[in-house]
Structures are given as C-alpha cells and as structure tokens.
Structure 1
Amino acid sequence: MPTDAAPGSRDRRETVRFYLLDHRTLLGKAIDIALLVLNLVFVAVFVAETYSLPAELRTRLWGVEVAIAGVFLVEYVLRLYGARDRLAEAMNPYTVVDLLAILPTLLVVLLPGTGTVAGIGFLRVVRVVRALRFYRFTQDAEFFFGTISDNALRASKLLLTVLVLLFVSAGLFYSAEHAANPDVATFGDAFYYVVVALSTVGFGDIVPITAAGRWITVASILAGIIVLPWQASKIVREWSRREKIDVTCPSCGLSSHDRDATHCKACGHVIYQEVDSSE
C-alpha cells in the first residue's frame, strides 16, 4: 500500500528502512548485533521464568523483559514506518512473529494490577514464538560478520529449524502440562521430554497426562517428520548439483548434466560439452 509522501519524509523512511536491512555499515552491523543479543536475552528470560526463583530476581527479570519488549516494539513500528508497502510489511510472517513475540508482555503492561496474567496458559503459548524471531537473521546470506555461501545458509536454517522446533514444542508442552503434571516442573523437563519424544527413544519417565500435551506431542513429531527431511533434502540436492555442469540440451531442454557427458542422458542428443581429460 504505497503512499505519497513529502521528499523529507520519504528520505527519512528510506534511511530507516536501509539501516534496518543493512549489514555492511557500522550502524547497520550494530543494530543487527544488538537485536540478536536482545533476542537471545528475551528467550533466556522466558526459560528462566519457568524455574523457582527469588522474588527479587523474578522482579528484575520482569523489568528486563519489559525493557526488551519496548525495544522490539520500537523496531516493529520503525519497520512499518520505513516500509515501501506497509500493508505487505505488516503481513510479512517475520513481522507478524515480531508482534506476537512481544504481545504477551504488552498485554500485562497494559493491564495494570493484573501481573499474575503473565502466568495464564494462553499467554505462555504465545510467548514461545519468540524463538521464531531468529529466522529474521537468516533471510539472506549476508550477515554483520560477512557473507556466507548458500549451502552454509541452508545448513544454518536446518540447524535453526531443529532448535526452534525443540524450543517451541517444549514451550507448548510446558504450558499444557506444568499445572497438572508433577514431572514437568520446569522448561528443562519439557525440553528433555521433547528431545526424547522426537528422537523416538521414549524412556517413559515423563509422559503427557493432558489431552493438550498429547496433541502437542503428536504435532511436534509430525512437524519433525515433515519439516526436517524437507529442509535436509534441499541441502543434499544442492550438494549433488556441485558435480553437475549447467548445460542445457538443445533438443529436449534437460539441464545439469554430468561433467564428463557429451550426450544428453535423456534423448541422446550431442550437447557439445568440452571435457578436460585431466580432470
């Protein structure tokens, strides 16, 4: 939904958009690193809050959470402000995750006198999507420390998918089970269960006792079966293409032939590929 704006306003919007996307300038790198560190702390606070902590430390953690949520709110507003198409930016999955990640904290802040609402189950379910914010840092192969290869980027996304799947599943399982299941007292217990369940080891020392916990387990296993092989196949496919030459057969249009191929393996047409016999 592009809108007309005065030149000065347009310049400011372009500047904001540039530095939120930039990985090369000093300011762009600083913004990237700061957001990454804050995201790590944000996730760590969520995990820490599931453990039994002194009241003073819990209060400090809540202050840290509110402060970081405020930074992320400013980032969210600036992304919408600097976007060329604000509607498209608002509907962007990364931007939606950004909003969902801070929504529970904002709801608690906007409802004064109801601090215990932070422990309500549905809010905890929403809070686990904070881990999905890490995908924003893998949108392209250019990072604040340099540019990586496409294969390294795919491998990073696969590793991130594994970690996010485990973390989100553990968060959802903890939210569903901790009030009813004495074996799920902390996030660590839930994470242990999810790792054991998704790896199909199944020791049986922790089992879901709620319907929600059982369905979360089923959904997590199905997600692991579907998503992880799909992403891994992309990496394997790209690695296999390294041994191919990007030559297109003029007869049938088949591309990506073997390095030593002189004829198309589909139709037999000569593809006139030069071959170095020393290879």
Structure 2
Amino acid sequence: MPATDRTERFRRRLRALYYGETRRSARFRLAVLSIDIVVIGFFIAAPVIRETRYFLPVDYALAALLALDIGARMLAFSPERPWWRRPSMWIDLFVLSTLLAPQWLFNLGFLRVLKLWSLVHSDLFWRTLGRRLDDTRWEDVVKSVATLLTFVFVVTGFVYTIFLGSHPQLTGYVDALYFTIATLTTTGFGDITLPGALGKLVSIVTMVAGISLFVRLAQAIVRPHKVVYPCPTCGLLRHDPDAVHCKACGTLLAIPNDES
C-alpha cells in the first residue's frame, strides 16, 4: 500500500475517533477530555508546586500527552477548515511551548489557563461531556462561567508573577487570588493594593472586565431561552422554542423538539 494511502487511512481513523458517534469514539474523546482537565488542574496548582521535585516530571509528561493530542487533531482536521484557522489550536501550541520550556517561559505560565476557555468552547467538549446541554440555556451559562473563571486565574497568575512581594500581604498565590476576587467584585477591602501606575491599571481592568463578565453570566441565566436553528431564508440563528415562523422574515420554520 502506498505511503499516501496509509496516511489517508490513518487520518480517517483519527477523524472517526474525534468526530464519530460510536461508543469507541465517545470513550476516546472522554479520555482526551480527562487529560485536558488534569492539565488545567496542573496549571492552576503550578505556582504552588513549582519548587517540588515532582513539578518537572509531571510537566514533561503532560507536554508529551498534549503534543500527541495536538498532532492527532492536526491530522484529523478536514482540508476545508485546516487547523491554523482555529484559535484553540494556537492556544494549545502556546500552552505546549510553556510546558516544554517551563523554566524560561514560567512567567507566561499564567496564560496556560486559557486552555480552560478553549476546552469549554470546543466542539469536542459539547459532543462528549456537554452533550445533553448542547444548544440549551445551560450551554451559554457554562461558557460564561468558564470565561469568568479563566479571567480570574489569568489575572491571579499575572498578579502573582509580576507583583509578588511588592506588598507586605502579597506573599503567595492565595493572596493574589484573594486580591483578584476582591477587586473583581469591587469589594475593595484595601488590605492589598498594587503599587505604581501598572498596579492601578491592572485593578481598573480587573474591575471593568469583571463587572462585564458578571453581567454576561447573569444574562445567560435569566434571559428567555432560545433554541439554535438557522432560518433557511435570512439566517437568523436563535428563535423561541415554540416558534412557527421566523420573527425576522416570516419564513415557516420546522424546529425539531423532543416529541418529533
């Protein structure tokens, strides 16, 4: 068998594992997501365990697993939409670079938690763990929560990396997390403040962005539920669950439901 045929056959197998509907595909995707969750947990705990002897072995082991996953997904992607057009792939490549060079790129390590955002916004997540919530109100809620948590840990990591020791009470990762939550919620206890113009700018951005993310989360929870169904005429994507006609152009819709 020619090498090109073997490569294409291997690509089809990978595509079936990542995008198929069989039990084998579901188990494979569940294993991949489990590794991603472990990686995210490691990123959150990294500032605390960095000085232990287990840090580098775990770091390189996760780098090897992530590299295999990235390579497999690159092969599995269809030619119509190659991997370099997907923001999640660039995030994963950046995360991989920080894992391969943890000592040199540790100051950028706080950006690794962006993988939480890319994971929850990926088709892989919603076809596997979030299958029952896909295209429901709770999909928007989960995505909003993931965005908020990603922002919290990115700001916490930045404060910990840049401002550690700049304030008598800012001595560890928990202190940086405490400052981030207090600032994001505009509680403003004032026991920890960041020095200089950069510190004030970080506080301002944290408050403004944090309020915006909280508002978005509240909207996702309380706004009326809409189903995702593209109108064949005008392309309007969201409609009322019992809609018969498109509110924008009046086209007759055939929105599927649990009874159909």
TM class by shorter-chain length? 0.7 to 0.9
Whether the aligned pair in 1 keeps the contact of 2:40 and 2:115 (CA below 8 Å) is: yes
Letter in 2 for 1:142: R
Matched, 1:180 2:169: no
Q: 2:119 maps to what in 1?
A: 134
- In structure 1, which of residues 133, 138, 155 is the aligned counterpart of residue 141 of structure 2? 155
Residues 84 and 244 of structure 1: CA distance in aligned 2, closer, same or farther (over 3 Å): closer
Q: 1:20 aligns with which of 11, 18, 21?
A: 18
AA paired with 1:38?
A: I
SS at match of 1:12: helix
Q: How far did 1:147 drift?
A: 2.7
Alignment partner of 2:98 out of 101, 104, 109: 104
TM-score relative to the length of structure 2: 0.74
Separation of aligned partners in 1, 2:87 and 2:28: 21
User: How far 1:86 sits from its partner (Å)?
Assistant: 8.3
When residues 163 and 255 of structure 1 are mapped into structure 2, their CA distance, relative to the original with a 3 A threshold, is: farther
- Once the two structures are TM-superposed, the CA of residue 125 in structure 1 deviates from its matched residue by 4.0
Which has the larger Rg? 1
Deviations 1:236-275 (A, max 9, x none): 44427658633358xx94689xxxxxxxxxxxxxxxxxxx
1:215 correspondence with 2:201: yes
Aligned residue pair count: 237
Paired with 2:101 and 2:141, the residues of 1 have a C-alpha distance of 36
Q: Label 1:243 to 1:102 Cα distance change in 2 as closer, same or farther (>3 A).
A: closer
Query: How many Å apart are 1:142 and its aligned residue?
Result: 2.8
Q: Pairwise CA RMSD of aligned residues?
A: 3.3
Q: For residue 6 of structure 1, report the CA deviation from its aligned partner.
A: 3.8
Measured against aligned partners, the alpha-carbon deviations of 1:148-174 in whole angstroms (never above 9, x if no partner) come to: 252121121122122212122211221
* Whole-angstrom distance in 1 between the partners of 2:246 and 2:44: 53
Aligned counterpart for 1:73 among listed residues 61, 67, 71: 67
List gaps (5 residues or longer) in structure 2.
227-238, 253-260
Closer, same or farther: CA 87–210 of 1 in aligned 2, 3 Å: farther
Deviations 1:71-127 (A, max 9, x none): 11111112112222387312311111111112112134xxxxxx4x354x3x33443
Deviations 1:195-252 (A, max 9, x none): 1111111111111125444333322323233344346435544427658633358xx9
Of 34, 37, 41, the residue aligned with 1:37 is 34
1:201 is aligned, of 174, 187, 192, to 187
Q: Which residue of 2 aligns with 1:271?
A: none
Q: Deviations over 1:39-92 (max 9, x none)?
A: 333233333332377x5xx22122112101111111111211222238731231
Q: Measure, in 1, the Cα distance between the counterparts of 2:138 and 2:178.
A: 28
**1:6–1:51 CA distance, 2 compared to 1 (3 A):** closer
Distance in 1 separating the partners of 2:6 and 2:202: 50
1:246 to 244, 247, 251: 244
Letter in 2 for 1:34: A
- SS of the residue aligned with 1:246? coil
Tell me, in whole angstroms, the C-alpha distance in 2 between the residues paired with 1:35 and 1:213.
38
Identity over the aligned pairs, expressed in percent?
20
Note the C-alpha offset of 1:133.
3.8
- Contact map agreement 2:144 2:213 (CA 8 A) in 1: no
